[in-house]
Amino acid sequence: MVLPQETGSEASALAALREGYGATYRIRRTPKLWIATRRDNHPDLAPTIGEPDFARFIHTLKNPPRRFSRPFPRQAS
């Protein structure tokens, strides 16, 4: 996967991120943040990543931080 180094074209950067990380994260862009939310409930990794800087966002996707606390227990239906 080739990711752009800068956000010159945010639409193409977003498409590349979704192609490369879409199986693991739902990725979106707001006017100020790049946001990735895990699709699984990994017990050790942060469920959401948010960064204003594109390069930092890529670094964090490649090296996700640990979760701060335990996941909420799921309630039986």
32, part of any domain: yes
Q: How confident is the model at residue 70 (pLDDT cuts 50, 70, 90)?
A: low
Domain that holds residue 53: 24-67
Q: What is the pTM of this model?
A: 0.77
Q: How many domains does the chain have?
A: 1
- pLDDT by residue (tens digit) across 24-63? 999 999 999 999 999 998 888 999 999 999 999 999 999 9
Task: List, as one string, the DSSP characters of the chain.
Answer: ----SS-SSHHHHHHHHHHHHTTTEEEEE-SS-EEEEESS--SSB-SEEEESSHHHHHHHHHSPPBPSSPPPPPPP-
**pLDDT given at position 35:** 97
42, part of any domain: yes
Please name which of 62, 61, 67, 25 lies closest in space to residue 44, comparing C-alpha atoms: 67
77, part of any domain: no
| Average pLDDT of the residues in 13-24 | 94
53, part of any domain: yes
On whether the CB atoms of residues 59 and 3 are closer than 8 A, the answer is no
